[in-house]
């Protein structure tokens, strides 16, 4: 059965609600909201912002709020969509990659970070940010916080700094699979959990059987689609990309070519 359709996404959220999970935005979590069973629901809008709006509507219909992190690249930064998602009651966050864009120039990176944060605050009073993995850059965007503090920027949290993933289970659909941490370069966390799921149905089954961790952050990118052609296109691309990533981890030449095309693809 094909995975990562919006239909299946809806099923996943319903299964969590049926098993009495409370669903929080990351901002709510940072403000101290807790429950016996809870999910911090996070979406990194790397691209296909229109898909994000579809997910946001599904959640709204189920009475759920989530965090949508937007980038400054054109594929993500669509003002009408950001406004519409905020209007549905969701949290807007900034998916920053300033250090990678600044080629490691910390001065420049913090200055563009502040400008971009201001920009996104016209849509929503942004209180949380989250780094973009920038897998082809040698710079880790989080390193910005070695010299600056998020509190000074009026922020409450950054998942990779603010959450102890030994206590809160982390799962991400990076690369159109829930067990893609093998190919992820930076979207990986140290974890005290050994639960591994491949298909969304595996998660739904675990939730129903009460085997899914009681407290988790779910990162769902916004590539889920009910449109068969769109879905097939994304699936093929992710399959190709996962393999290229694997190869370019070991081969510097391939890595250079891949990085070049990645730079071309993301318009600023």
Binding site for Zn ion (CB under 5 A): 44, 46, 132
Q: Shortest Cβ distance from residue 187 to Zn ion (Å)?
A: 7
Nearer to Zn ion, 46 or 238 (CB): 46
Q: Shortest Cβ distance from residue 71 to Zn ion (Å)?
A: 7
CA–CA gap between residue 135 and residue 138 (Å, rounded): 8
Nearer to Zn ion, 3 or 44 (CB): 44
What's the alpha-carbon Rg for the chain, to the nearest Å? 18
Nearer to Zn ion, 15 or 76 (CB): 76
Residue 225 forms beta bridges with which residues?
Answer: none
Q: Shortest Cβ distance from residue 9 to Zn ion (Å)?
A: 18
Nearer to Zn ion, 15 or 172 (CB): 172
Q: Shortest Cβ distance from residue 46 to Zn ion (Å)?
A: 4
The phi, psi pair for 97, rounded to 5°, reads -150, 35
Structure-token pair, residue 123 = 């849509």
- Strands 22-24 and 169-172 turn out to be unpaired
CA–CA gap between residue 2 and residue 242 (Å, rounded): 18
Q: Shortest Cβ distance from residue 175 to Zn ion (Å)?
A: 12
CA–CA gap between residue 21 and residue 38 (Å, rounded): 5
Residue nearest to Zn ion (CB): 132
Nearest to 52 by CA among 27, 14, 83, 21: 83
Nearer to Zn ion, 74 or 208 (CB): 74
- Phi-psi bin for 192: left (phi > 0), alpha (psi -120 to 50), beta? alpha
């Amino acid at each position: 059965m094909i995975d990562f359709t919006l239909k299946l996404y809806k099923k996943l959220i319903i299964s969590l609600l049926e098993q009495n999970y409370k669903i929080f935005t990351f901002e709510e979590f940072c403000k101290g909201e807790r429950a016996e069973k809870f999910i911090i629901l996070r979406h990194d809008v790397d691209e296909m912002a229109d898909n994000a709006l579809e997910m946001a509507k599904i959640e709204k219909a189920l009475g759920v709020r989530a965090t949508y992190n937007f980038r400054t690249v054109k594929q993500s930064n669509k003002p009408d969509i950001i406004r519409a998602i905020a209007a549905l009651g969701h949290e807007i966050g900034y998916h920053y990659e300033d250090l990678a864009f600044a080629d490691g120039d910390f001065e420049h990176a913090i200055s563009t970070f502040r400008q971009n944060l201001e920009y996104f605050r016209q849509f929503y009073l942004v209180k949380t940010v989250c780094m973009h993995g920038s897998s082809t850059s040698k710079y880790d965007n989080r390193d910005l916080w070695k010299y600056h503090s998020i509190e000074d920027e009026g922020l409450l949290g950054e998942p990779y700094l603010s959450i102890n993933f030994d206590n809160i289970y982390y799962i991400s659909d990076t690369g159109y699979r829930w067990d893609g941490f093998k190919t992820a370069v930076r979207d990986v966390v140290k974890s005290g959990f050994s639960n591994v799921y491949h298909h969304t149905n595996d998660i739904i089954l675990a939730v129903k059987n009460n085997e899914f961790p009681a407290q988790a952050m779910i990162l769902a990118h916004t590539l889920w689609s009910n449109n068969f052609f769109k879905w097939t296109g994304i699936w093929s691309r992710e399959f190709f990309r996962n393999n290229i990533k694997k190869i370019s981890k070991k081969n510097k030449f391939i890595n250079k070519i891949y990085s070049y095309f990645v730079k071309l693809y993301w318009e600023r």
